[in-house]
Amino acid sequence: MTTLRAHAKLTWFLEITGQREDGYHELRSEMTTISLSDTLVLDESEDYLQIFSPFEAPVLVDETNLVARALRLVHRRAGVTIEKSIPVGGGLGGGSADAAAILRWAGGVDPAVAVSLGGDVPFCQLGGRALVEGVGERLTALEFEARDLTLIVPDFGVSTAECYRAFDELRADGWVPSGANHLEEPAAIVEPRLRMTLDWLRAEYDPRVQLAGSGSTMFVAGHLDPGEGPWSVSGPAGPLQFSQTTTTPD
């Protein structure tokens, strides 16, 4: 048996810089891995995929799953059990992190190959801190910075595909993206509870609260509570789970 740790990624800023002829969006962002992680247990004598998740959002366990696709990409087989801790549909790259853990276990692949699994996979394979450009395949490693942060997770997710679709529709209507995360406004259109929650958090806790990637996880630099354990509050659109974490060097 082999145990792998798949660290979540946090997007500190996200700029959409253009769109290619094939429809994929060009971006520029800073990403870092954080201590929140999934656990994968591999049995090379078997061939299966099972996932244990505390989240309501479903995770498909078939040939489309990113872990199954990563195994095919590196021409390996294994029985894989995943214990999910990274929120599903939360913008923290959980599926990408799991796939990247498989790639690293198999010796790694070129970022231009890893991106075939998804735009976050090349960074998750690298880990640490990096400037990410192109569709996710151009990585510039940055010096590690130890940062504390607080994650805020609602009980709903946001579809990345729908978020980018909303972005394109807004741009077609003349909207100009701005701010640290160009996907915040599109994500709030896809999931109106997100706008309500962001506004409330910024008023009640800290005006610096940001959306992580395409959502729905939100975060703020620093620890909001001197304690260590997670806690829950009732937000304007449902329960919110707060947890404190830190950046990691790999």
Query: Annotated catalytic sites, by residue?
Result: 9, 120
DSSP secondary structure string for all residues of 3-46: EEEEEEEEEEEEEEEEE-TTSPEEEEEEEEEEEEEEEEEEETT-
Query: Bridge partners of 28?
Result: 15, 133
Letter for the amino acid at 133? E
Q: If we measure between CA atoms, which residue out of 50, 45, 38 comes closest to residue 4?
A: 38
DSSP secondary structure string for all residues of 196-231: HHHHHHHHHT-TT-EE-TTSS-EEEES-SSSS-S-E
Residue with tokens 């810089």: 17
Cα-based distances in Å from 10 to 33, 53, 73, 108, 211: 6, 20, 25, 21, 10
Tokens of 179: 């701010």
